Chain A
Amino acid sequence: MNKKFLSFLTVILLLFFQGVTGQTKSVSGIVTDDTGSPLPGVNVVEKGTSNGTSTDFDGNYVISVDANATLVFSSLGYKSKEVSVNGKSTINTSISEDASELDEVVVTALGIRKETKALGYSLTEVGGEEIATIKTPNAINSLQGKIAGVNISQNSTGAAGSSRVIIRGSSSLSGENQPLYVVDGIPINNANNGAASMWGGSDGGDGISSLNPDDIESISVLKGGAASALYGSRAAGGVIIVTTKSGKDQQGFGVEVSSQVTFDQVNTSLQDYQTDYGQGIRGETPANQAGALEAGFSSWGPKFDGSLVPQFDGVSRPYSYTGNNIDKFYRTGSTFINTVALTNASENLTYRLSASDLNNEDILPNAGLNRKSFSLNASSVMSEKLTSSVNVKYIIEKVQNRARLSDSPGNANFSAGLLPGNLDVTTLLPATDENGLERQFTDNTFVTNPYFSAYNFRRKDQRNRIIASTSLRYEFTDWLSLTGRIGIDNDIIRRTEVEPFGTGFKPRGGISDSERRTNQVDADIILAADKDITDKFAISALVGANTNHLKSENLFLGGNDFIVPGLEDIGNTVSQSRSREYSERKIGSLYGSIELSYDRWAYVTFTGRNDWFSTLSFPGKTTPNDDFYPSINGSLIISDALELPNFISFLKLRGGYSEVAGGAQNPYALGLTYGIFGVPLQGQPTGAINGGTVPNANLVAFSKNETEIGLDLRMFNNRLSFDLAYYKNNTTNDIVDVATSPYSGYGGASANLGEVSNKGFEFLVSGTPIRTDNFSWNVSINGAYNESLVVATDDVDSDVNLDEPRTQNVRITHRVGERYGTIIGVSYERDANGVIKYDIDADGVPRAVEGERKILGEGVAPLTMGFTNTFTYKNLSLNILIDGKFGGQIFSGTNTILYGNGLHKITTEGRETGLTVSGIDNATDQPFTTTVAPENLSTYWGEVNDIAEEFVEDSDYIKFRQLSLGYSLPKRALENVFLTNVNVSFIASNLFYISRSIDNIDPESAYTVGNSQGLEYFGVPASRNYGMSINLKF
C-alpha cells in the first residue's frame, strides 16, 4: 500500500507542476479596514476567474494577474470592493464593515445554508481547522469540551474504540440516544459494532470514526428538536451535519499536504497502589510454586523483606517491589496521519480529491489500527439551470487486536493491572511454555497471561466502506428549484477472532469468522421556493419526500477445539457452528418547511414531517405505524429593529418548539418468533423461542417535544459575545424493556411506557480581551448543565435495568423519579445514626452487613464545561483547551478488586498490628470496637468488597485536554517558493488532570459507550499524547 501511496503522491506533484502556468503581472499590497488596521484573511480574486489569494496576518497579499484584470476584495462581514489593476503593481485598499453581512452562514437541516440570524434555535458550527489541529483516530472526539451541551465520552476502549456523543441529555431509556450523523446530505450508519459487557468482550468501533479529519470542512451541531425537526424521527438525539471539503474555496489548482504524528504514553500517575506488601495469603508468602499459583493476585503477603520467595514459575525471586507493571507492560503508542489533497476550482467544475493514511499503534502491545481513506467531492454547473454534485468516500480500515475489556478472560488490562508488587510483569514472558501452552501465573484459568492475551489471541477486523452520494438541482426560475439527492452507505466488516490452542480457560482454543454487511440507501426529493414578496416580506418554503432503507446481514462461523495446534482455521476445529442474521427496515417520509421573514429582523419558521416505520408495521396491527413531527421557531434581531446603545453590536432573541423522536429501532420486535438451532441434536432438528424479550404487537412511535429559548448578544464590536440557551424536553411513550424476573422465562418486555425529561441551559461566552496589531488573545468558556429525570417506566414504575459490572453488586438503572442512568448498588447496612453494622463471626472478624441496594450516584455528569484560550502573536498561535465534567459518579471495579486483593493503599493499615474496626454489632445492636488480626484482613476487606457503596465515587474532573502551538510561515517568506501556506504545530492532548476525585483510575474510563455509563472495570488505561503536525499548501 505504501508504494501505491507514493505513486499517488508523485502523480499529484506532477499535476501540480503542470498547473503552474505563466502569469503576466504580480500585484501586491495591503488591505486595511476603515480605521487603517490591516485585515488578515481578505480574499483577493481576479474577477471572472478562479485565480485568487488571501491576505496574511499583516494584511499583505501578492497575486499574479493579467495586467488588465479587476481585483475583487472580500471578507466576511465586510462589503466587497472591486479595484482595476490597470498595470499597477501595488494596490493598497481598504474595505468597510457591512453590518448587514455581519452574520455568518451556517449549514442547517437538509443541508440548507442559512444566516445564523434567521435561526430560532441553537446551532453550533465548528470549522474543519478545529478538528484538524489535533487529529484523533475518531474525529468526533475533537469536539470534546468545545460545544456547550454536547457531552462526549471516549472511555477506555482503546484507540479504535467508539465514542458516545450525547446532545442535551439522553432522551430515550432504551434507544441509543446518539445523534444522527449526516455527511454531505446523506445520513450515515453510526452503529456500534460491538461493546464490552460484564462478561468481557471488546469495543468494535463505530461508524462516525470512518471520517478523515482532514476532509472535514465544517461540523454543524443541531442541538435541539427545533433545529433538527426536519429529520423527524431520526432527530431524537440531535443531528450532527458534517460537510466535507469540496474545493470551492480554492481558486484554481491547489495541493494540500498535512502530516501529524503523536506519541501516546500510559499515564501511570493515575494509579497509586500500595508497594509495601506482596503476593501471599493471610500474611504469609507462598511456600512453593503451587502456593504462588493459588495466591495469584492476592497481595496479602507480609511486608517486603527482600527474601527469596517462590513465584508462579517455581523460581524464587526477591520479595520486594519490582516497579510499576503498567508502565512496563504498555508501550509507547503512536499515531501517524498523513493526508494529501488536490483541489481545483473553475467556473463549471470544482473538485477535491484526497487520500489519507492513519496508522496507529496502540499503547496495548500488538494492537493498532490502520485506516486509509479516499475522498472525491466534485460539483459542476451542467447548464445555466442544472447543477450537480458527487461525493464519494472509500475507507479501508484494519484493526488489530481490539482491547479486551471488563471481565478477566483474555483481558490483559486486568492481569497486568493487578499483579502483586513483587511480581514483575516481564517475568510472564514468554507467554507460552515449551509446548506452546499459555504460561499461567494463577490457578484461576480465567485470568490470562497479559502477553498471551496480547500476542497469542488474535482479533482482526477489516472494514471496507463506501459512502457516496449524488445530487441534481434544477432551477426553474431564480426562486424555485427542485433538488434530488440519493446516497448510499455500504459497510462491510470482516472479523476474525481466535482464542488459540493452549489458552488456559479454553485449552483447545476456538475461532470465529464473521462478516457484517450493512447497506443504507437514503433518497430525498425537495421542491424549494425562495421569494421576496414585497421589499420587506420574504418567504422561503420547501416540500420534500424521503425514503430510508437499511439492510444488515451478519454471517457467522464458529469453531471450537483446534485439531492441529497452531493452525488457526475454521476447518481445523472439532465442532463448528454457523449462523446468519438479517434485518431490514424502512422509513418513508414527507416533509415541508416555510420560513417567513420581515425586514431581515423578524423570522419565523414552521416545519412538519410525517414518518412511516416498517418496524411498527405488522400484519393485523391496529395501532398506527406513523407519526407527525411539527416544529416552529422564530428569531428577532432586536439590534436591527430598535435603536440600542452603541456598545451592543448585535442582539437576537430566539425561541422554538418541536416534536421529534421515533419508532422502534429494531425490526421484527412485534411478534414472537421461533428459531431453529444451527446444529441438530442426534440428527434431530432443534428449535425454540427466539430472543429473550417479550414482544409487543401494539408498539407505537415514541415522541419527544422540546421547547427552547435563547439569546445571542455581541458587544463592543463583537469583542465580547454571549450565546445562551435554555431548553426543556420531554419524551413520552418511550419504548422500554420493562424489567421482568428471569423466572418469567424472559429478560424483559417491550412496552411504550417510558417517559423521560431533560432540562438545562447552555452558555458560550467568548471574547477578545486583547487585540493589537501583532497580538491577540481570544478566550471562550462554554458550559452546559442538563438535568434529566426518569418520569415513568411502566404502569408500576419498575426499574429499567441496564448493565451491571462483573462484580454484580451494582447496576445502572432507570428508576422513576431519579436521574437517567442511576447507579444503584449494594450499600452498607447502617443503624439509625448511620453507623455501619457488622456481623462478627466466630473468629472475631467483623463482616460488613450488606444493606439494600440504594442509589449510589448518577453515571452521567450533568455539568460539562470547556475553556479555550487562543493567543496569537504574529504568525505564532497558542491554543489551550481545558475541560471538565462535574456532578457525576462512577463505580470503580478496579478499586473493588484492588481492595479484595490487598493492592489498594487502604489495605496497608493494620497489616502489622491489626486493624481497629468499630461499628454496630448486628447481633446485639450495640457498638463494638475490635482489632482485626493481620491474617484476617483479607477476610475483612473481602467482605467490604461486596459493598458497592464503597466503590462509587465522584467522577468530577478538570483536565488539561489540549495544547497546540502553531507557527505559520509568513507569506513573504513563501513568495519565491511554490508553497502558499506552511504551518507547523506542536500538539499535546490529555496532558494531566488539574483535579480529579477518584483514585487509581481515569474518571473517563467506563468500558462501554452505551446507555450504561458509570461502570469502570479494567479498560485500557489512560494515556498522554504528544506530537507535531505540518500542513503545507501549494
Chain B
Amino acid sequence: MKKVFLLLIMALIVGACDDGFEELNVNPTKSAQIASANKLTALEKYISSERYDNWRAGMIYQSTMMQHIATTAGYWSGDKYTWNRGYASSLLDRYYGNAIKTAQDLIVQLDEEESPEEMKAIARILRVFAFSRITDLHGDVPYSEAGKAVIDGIFLPKYDKQSDIYADMLKELEESAAALSSGTSEFGAADVIYGGDQAKWKRLANSLMLRLGLRLIKVDAAASQAWATKAIAGGVMTSNEDIFFLKHDQDNRNGISEVFDADGNPRMSDTFINFLKDGNDPRLPILAARRSDGSTEVADLIGFPNGLDSALLLELTGEENTDNYAEPNRAILAGFDAPMIFQTYAEVEFMLAEANVRWGLAGDAETHYNNGVTAAMKQLALFSDAAIIEDDAIATYLTDNPYDAANAIEQISTQYWAATFLNEYETFSNWRRTGFPVLTPVNYPGNETGGTIPRRLTYSESEASVNAENYAAAVAAQGPDVLTTRVWWDVQ
C-alpha cells in the first residue's frame, strides 16, 4: 500500500516536472515579429550607422586620403597610408550585421505579407545603397548570400564578383523605380527619410542608378552610357528637396558629429582649404574654423598639409602645434542632430553635366554645372540657418568660377569632390572613377602603399580564418587583400 502511495506521488510530480515550461521560455521583453514599418525606420538609421565606422572608414581613412582632412595624429591611418586592419574593415563590420541583415529580413517580411510593391521597392533601394557603399569600398564582397544566416541558413557567404553585384544592383534599382508611382507609400511617416513619398523614392532610385552607372565608365563605357541614359529618362532628383539624407537628433546622434565631439585631431586639409580659397568660395567660413579660437575669418583659415606628424610639421614649417590651423567648423557641422547625407541633388546635377559632356545627354552641361554649384551651396542650410548662403554670393562665385568646357570633367569632378565633403564614401569612389581632383599623394615614412593613395579598404581580419575558402577565392579573383588593389570598376 505504501509503495502504491509513493508511486502515485511520484506520478503526480512527474506530470508537473515541466508544467508551463513552454510559456516560460518565451521572452516577455521581445516579440516574435514586429511591424515592417519599425524595421524600415531601423534600416534607415542603420545606413547612417554609428560613430564606429564613420570614424574609422569614413573619417580616419577616406576623408584624409581624399585630402578633405589632415592630421598629425598617428592613428589617423588614411592621412599617412598606413594600415590598421580593424579600421579598414569597420564599415563591413557594422553594415552587414545591421543594415544588410535588417534589409534582408525586412524584404522577406514584405514578401511574406504580400505588401504593396512600392514598399518592397523602398526596402530594395536602401539595400542597394548599403551594398553599393560596401562594394565600392572593398570590391568583391558577399552579396547574394549576405545577411542570410537565418533566412537561408548561409553562415559562410561566398564573395560575389563586383561585376555581378553591379549588374544586380542596377537591375534592382530599375525594377524598384518601375514599382514606384506617386503618392505616399504604406510606410508613411515610418519612412523618416522621405515620409513615404513615392515620387522622391523613384527619383532616388534613378539618381542612384545614374551614380552606379557612371561608376562603370572606366571598365565598360557603353554600359555606363546605357545606364545613365536609362536613369535620366526615368527621372532623377530635381531639387534640394530630394536630397537623400537622414535627420539625426540627440538620442540618435550623427556618427560623424560624434567623431568631431570625441576627437580633436582632424584639421582641414590644405588641399581643400586652398581649393575653397582659390575660388573665393562662400562655403569656406561655413565648413572651416580656426582650431584655436573658432575664428572663421578667411585670413585665419589655414589648411593643414597631409602626411605630417608634428616633427615633420616643425621641420617643414617651424610650427609647434596645430591649433592655428583650420578644423571642420564644429559650430555648424558637429551638432548631434546634423544631417547624414547619402546623395544630393547637387551630385546629380554634376553627373548630368558630365553625362552631357561625355554623351550629349540631358541638355546643357553649363546649366547643370551652375545648378550643381548652386545646390551644393544651398544644401548646407540642412546643417544650420547659420549655413545659409545667399543667392548673390552664389552668383558671384559662378561669375568668378564659370563653367570651363575645356576642362569640364576635371572641373565638375572637383566640384563634386567639394560637394561631398563628409560623405567621404562617395568622395573616394568618384575620385577613383574620374581621377579628379588631382591629389598629390604623401609619402610618410613607413607607409603601406609605397606613397600612393589607397584604392580600396581591406576585409575583416576574421574572414581569413572563419570564412577561409570564400575569402581565399575572393583574394584569388580580385588580388591581394591590401590597400593598393583596385576594385573591378577602377581599372587603370
Q: Among B14, B93, B465, which residue has its beta carbon within 8 angstroms of that of A742? A: B93
Residues 816-832 of A, flagged 1 when their CB comes within 8 A of B and 0 if not, give 00000000100000000
CB <8 Å contact, B250 and A575: yes
Residues 671-700 of A contacting B (Cβ, < 8 Å): 671-677, 679-690, 692, 694-695
Q: Among B39, B190, B322, B467, which residue has its beta carbon within 8 angstroms of that of A688? A: B39
Q: Which residue of B lies closest to A692 (CB)?
A: B97
Residue B207 interfacial (CB < 8 Å) = no
Nearest CB of A to B459, in Å: 9
Residues 78-99 of A, flagged 1 when their CB comes within 8 A of B and 0 if not, give 0000000000000000000000
CB <8 Å contact, A614 and B155: no
Q: Which residue of A lies closest to B466 (CB)?
A: A739
Nearest CB of B to A76, in Å: 37
Contact (A681, B105) CB under 8 Å given A577-B251, A615-B25, A741-B157: no
CA distance A195 to B149 in the complex (A): 28
Q: Among A590, A625, A745, which residue has its beta carbon within 8 angstroms of that of B97? A: A745
CB <8 Å contact, A619 and B44: no
CA distance A617 to B464 in the complex (A): 37
Residue A564 interfacial (CB < 8 Å) = no
Contact (A505, B262) CB under 8 Å given A588-B16, A687-B39, A689-B102: yes
Residue A12 interfacial (CB < 8 Å) = no
CB <8 Å contact, B14 and A590: yes
Q: Which residue of A lies closest to B187 (CB)?
A: A684
Residues 837-872 of A contacting B (Cβ, < 8 Å): 841-843, 845, 852-853
A686 proximity list for chain B (CB < 8 A): 38, 41-42, 45
CB <8 Å contact, B27 and A506: no
Residue A668 interfacial (CB < 8 Å) = yes
Contact (A688, B22) CB under 8 Å given A588-B16, A674-B31, A853-B464: no
Residue A114 interfacial (CB < 8 Å) = no
Residue B147 interfacial (CB < 8 Å) = yes
Interface window among A200-208, A279-287, A454-462, A763-771: A279-287
CA distance A577 to B10 in the complex (A): 49
CA distance A621 to B25 in the complex (A): 12
Residue A1030 interfacial (CB < 8 Å) = no
Among the interface residues B43, B46, B74, which one has the most CB atoms of the partner chain A within 10 A? Answer: B74
Among the interface residues B31, B41, B46, which one has the most CB atoms of the partner chain A within 10 A? Answer: B41
Residues 84-106 of B contacting A (Cβ, < 8 Å): 85-86, 92-93, 96-98, 100-102, 104-105
Residues 1019-1031 of A, flagged 1 when their CB comes within 8 A of B and 0 if not, give 0000000000000
Q: Among A506, A527, A612, A743, which residue has its beta carbon within 8 angstroms of that of B146? A: A743
Q: Which residue of A lies closest to B319 (CB)?
A: A290
Residue B189 interfacial (CB < 8 Å) = yes
Residues 36-76 of B, flagged 1 when their CB comes within 8 A of A and 0 if not, give 01110111111000000000000000000000000011110
A366 proximity list for chain B (CB < 8 A): none
Q: Among B28, B192, B311, B467, which residue has its beta carbon within 8 angstroms of that of A684? A: B192
CB <8 Å contact, B149 and A744: yes
A543 proximity list for chain B (CB < 8 A): 6, 10
Nearest CB of A to B106, in Å: 9
Q: Among B26, B29, B93, which residue has its beta carbon within 8 angstroms of that of A675? A: B29
Contact (A798, B466) CB under 8 Å given A282-B311, A445-B264, A745-B148: yes
Contact (A694, B155) CB under 8 Å given A281-B309, A618-B22, A684-B190: yes
A-B pair number, CB within 8 angstroms: 278
Contact (A287, B314) CB under 8 Å given A294-B73, A681-B252: yes
CB <8 Å contact, A740 and B156: yes
CB <8 Å contact, A614 and B18: yes
Residue B164 interfacial (CB < 8 Å) = no
CA distance A290 to B27 in the complex (A): 54
Main secondary structure of the interface of A (DSSP, over half): mixed
A577 proximity list for chain B (CB < 8 A): 251
Nearest CB of B to A980, in Å: 49
Residue A59 interfacial (CB < 8 Å) = no
Q: Among B10, B27, B44, B75, which residue has its beta carbon within 8 angstroms of that of A444? A: B75
Interface window among A146-154, A579-587, A641-649, A967-975: A579-587
Residue B1 interfacial (CB < 8 Å) = no
Residue A747 interfacial (CB < 8 Å) = yes
Residue A638 interfacial (CB < 8 Å) = no
CB <8 Å contact, B32 and A575: no
B73 proximity list for chain A (CB < 8 A): 294, 443-444
B142 proximity list for chain A (CB < 8 A): 741, 743-744
B74 proximity list for chain A (CB < 8 A): 294, 444
CB <8 Å contact, A290 and B310: yes
Nearest CB of A to B209, in Å: 25
Residue B261 interfacial (CB < 8 Å) = yes
A527 proximity list for chain B (CB < 8 A): 6
Contact (A742, B155) CB under 8 Å given A445-B263, A686-B38: no
CA distance A688 to B105 in the complex (A): 9
Nearest CB of A to B4, in Å: 14
Residues 599-631 of A, flagged 1 when their CB comes within 8 A of B and 0 if not, give 000000000001011111111010001100000
CB <8 Å contact, A745 and B18: no
Residues 2-32 of B contacting A (Cβ, < 8 Å): 6, 10, 13-14, 16-19, 21-22, 24-32
CB <8 Å contact, A613 and B21: yes
Residue A738 interfacial (CB < 8 Å) = yes
A852 proximity list for chain B (CB < 8 A): 464
B252 proximity list for chain A (CB < 8 A): 679, 681-682
B279 proximity list for chain A (CB < 8 A): none
CB <8 Å contact, B157 and A799: no
Nearest CB of A to B327, in Å: 14
B251 proximity list for chain A (CB < 8 A): 575-577, 679
CB <8 Å contact, A743 and B33: no
Residues 154-165 of B, flagged 1 when their CB comes within 8 A of A and 0 if not, give 111100000000
Q: Among B31, B192, B264, B467, which residue has its beta carbon within 8 angstroms of that of A741? A: B467
A936 proximity list for chain B (CB < 8 A): 445-446
Contact (A689, B105) CB under 8 Å given A290-B320, A445-B262: yes
Q: Which residue of B lies closest to A584 (CB)?
A: B24
CA distance A138 to B24 in the complex (A): 34
Residue A289 interfacial (CB < 8 Å) = yes
Contact (A745, B261) CB under 8 Å given A290-B322, A444-B73, A682-B192: no
Q: Among B21, B28, B42, B461, which residue has its beta carbon within 8 angstroms of that of A677? A: B42
B96 proximity list for chain A (CB < 8 A): 742-745
Residue B253 interfacial (CB < 8 Å) = yes
Nearest CB of B to A278, in Å: 15
Residue B150 interfacial (CB < 8 Å) = yes
Q: Which residue of B lies closest to A285 (CB)?
A: B311
CA distance A667 to B38 in the complex (A): 25
Contact (A799, B29) CB under 8 Å given A284-B311, A747-B97: no
Contact (A291, B22) CB under 8 Å given A741-B463, A744-B147, A744-B155: no
Nearest CB of B to A786, in Å: 27
Contact (A743, B264) CB under 8 Å given A288-B314, A677-B42: no
Residues 241-297 of B contacting A (Cβ, < 8 Å): 247, 249-253, 261-265
B450 proximity list for chain A (CB < 8 A): 841-842
B264 proximity list for chain A (CB < 8 A): 445
Residues 275-311 of A, flagged 1 when their CB comes within 8 A of B and 0 if not, give 0000001101011111101100000000000000000
CA distance A760 to B363 in the complex (A): 82
Contact (A614, B21) CB under 8 Å given A443-B73, A742-B462: yes
CA distance A845 to B448 in the complex (A): 12
Give 9 CB contacts A-B under 8 Å. Answer: A281-B311, A444-B73, A613-B21, A684-B38, A685-B38, A740-B466, A745-B97, A841-B446, A936-B445
Other A-B pairs, 13, CB within 8 Å; known A682-B247, A746-B97, A852-B464 = A284-B311, A294-B72, A619-B26, A626-B17, A671-B32, A688-B105, A690-B30, A742-B93, A742-B462, A745-B97, A808-B86, A843-B445, A939-B445
Q: Which 8 A-B pairs have the closest CB atoms?
A: A745-B101, A588-B17, A617-B21, A673-B30, A290-B321, A745-B147, A612-B18, A744-B149
